[in-house]
Structure 1
Amino acid sequence: MAATPDEIEHARDLFAALSPITTGRMFGGTALYVDGDVMFACLLGGTIWMKSDTSTEAAFTEAGARPFSYQKSGGTTVVPSLMSLPDSALDDPEEAMHWARLSYPPALKAAEDKRRQKARKAAKKAAS
């Protein structure tokens, strides 16, 4: 289900202290980007999901966050690289910013990895 304009506005308000936030479509939801291509959060199914990795997962879990998951024919797929924004931060921009700052390093690493992949593909295509 696509994020509603109100959900997007609420997320923008929570993370207003970040550099300008841009949005893009993602899996039927909305991705939230800073610095052009650094996706630090997304809105899917009415939930704000924050970028995570093994270095941040425990902090999210301890705060009551859960990993993104979805159903497919083989069962449930869990995606720990997206953790729900803890409920206590949903109406607290200061706390939400704590989680955004925690999400930024994994988001930046993912963006850098994507940039390298694109550069390799472009170089390979140019060479052929």
Structure 2
Amino acid sequence: MAVSDEEIAHALDLFADLGSLSTRKMFGGLGMYHAGNIFAVLMSDGRLLLKGQGEMQARLDEMGLKRWTYQREGKAPASMPYWELPDSALDDAEEAVMLARAAIAHL
């Protein structure tokens, strides 16, 4: 399943105040970039995840946000450096941009 045009438009609207954004479709989802650096991923199932590196990882964990993990058959679970945005940020561009700016600062 690929992300819909509506899901892409919503994600771009949420982060519009960041300024110049670019996107790239990948694996049925969408990578979101600011100044050439990926900071968020829109998954093919519609989840919007924010990249966390350095101090931002601990902050996202402390917020109780769900980290993206996957498991291949016969392998141990693997965690990626992306966390789901809180539900409140999905409806509040100000909160989404605040979190995105903090994530971008640690890229």
Q: Same fold (TM over 0.5)?
A: yes
> 1:20 corresponds to which residue?
20
Q: Are 2:13 and 1:4 aligned?
A: no
* Aligned counterparts, 1:89-128, within 5 A: 89-107=89-107
Higher share in helix: 1
* Matched residue, 2:41: 42
Tell me whether 1:88 sits opposite 2:88 in the alignment: yes
Alpha-carbon deviation of 1:21?
Answer: 1.5
Cα 1:42/1:75, change in 2 over 3 Å: same
Greater relative contact order, per chain length (Cα 8 Å cut-off, separation 6+):
2
CA contact (8 A) 2:31 2:38 kept: yes
Q: Is the 8 A contact 2:39 2:103 kept in 1?
A: yes
Cα distance in 2 between the residues matched to 1:4 and 1:106: 29
Separation in 2, partners of 1:68, 1:104: 18
Secondary structure (helix, strand or coil) at the match of 1:65 reads: coil
- Which blocks of at least 5 consecutive residues in structure 2 are unaligned? none
Residue type of the partner of 2:96? A
Task: Extract unaligned runs of 5+ from structure 1.
Answer: 108-128
Report the AA paired with residue 65 of structure 2.
Answer: A
- Report SS of the residue matched to 1:72: coil
SS in 2 for 1:25: strand
CA distance in 2, matches of 1:77, 1:32: 22
Question: Following the alignment from structure 2 to structure 1, what is the Cα–Cα distance between the partners of residues 76 and 28?
Answer: 20
- Structure 2 partner of 1:76: 77
Give the percent of matched residue pairs that are identical in Structure 1 and Structure 2. 38
| Cα deviation, residue 48, structure 1 | 0.7
1:51 maps to: 51
- Aligned CA-pair RMSD: 1.5
Structure number with bigger Rg: 1
Count of aligned pairs: 105
